[in-house]
Copies of this chain bind each other. A is one copy, B any other.
Amino acid sequence: MTRSSLITDAQNTWCPGCGNFMILFALRNVLEALSEEGRSLDSVVLVSGIGCHAKIADYMNINSFYSIHGRTIPVATGIQLANPDLTVIACAGDGDAYAEGLDHLVFAAKRNVDITLLVHNNRVYGLTTGQYTPTSPLGFRGRSTPGGTIEEPFNPLELVLASGGTFIARESSLQMDSLQETIMEAIRHRGFSYVDILQICATYFNMTSYYRERMYRLKDHDESDFDQACDRMREWDYNGDAPIGLGIFYRREKDTFGGRLSGRKTVAVDRESAIRKILDERR
Contact = CB atoms under 8 A, between A and B. Distances in A.
A266 B163 CA distance: 41
30 contacts: A101-B103, A102-B102, A102-B103, A102-B106, A102-B107, A103-B103, A106-B106, A106-B154, A106-B159, A107-B134, A110-B134, A110-B151, A110-B152, A110-B153, A110-B154, A111-B151, A147-B264, A150-B257, A150-B260, A151-B257, A151-B260, A152-B164, A154-B162, A155-B162, A159-B159, A159-B162, A159-B163, A161-B162, A162-B162, A230-B230
A107 B102 CA distance: 10
A268 interface: no
Contacts of A106: 102, 106, 154, 159
Interface in A36-77: none
Contacts of A230: 230
A278 interface: no
Interface residues of A, number: 26
A109 to B, nearest CB: 8
Contacts of A134: 107, 110
A207 to B, nearest CB: 21
A142 to B, nearest CB: 15
A155 B159 CA distance: 11
Contacts of A181: none
Interface in A151-181: 151-155, 158-159, 161-164
Contacts of A159: 106, 159, 162-163
A261 interface: yes
A111 B101 CA distance: 17
Contacts of A102: 102-103, 106-107
Contacts of A154: 106, 110, 162-164
Interface in A239-283: 257, 260-261, 264
A153 B163 CA distance: 9
Nearest to A254: B152
Nearest to A153: B110
A208 to B, nearest CB: 27
Given A150-B257, A159-B163, 8 more contacts: A101-B103, A102-B102, A102-B103, A103-B103, A106-B106, A106-B154, A107-B134, A110-B151
Interface in A128-164: 134, 147, 150-155, 158-159, 161-164
Contacts of A107: 102, 134
Nearest to A113: B151
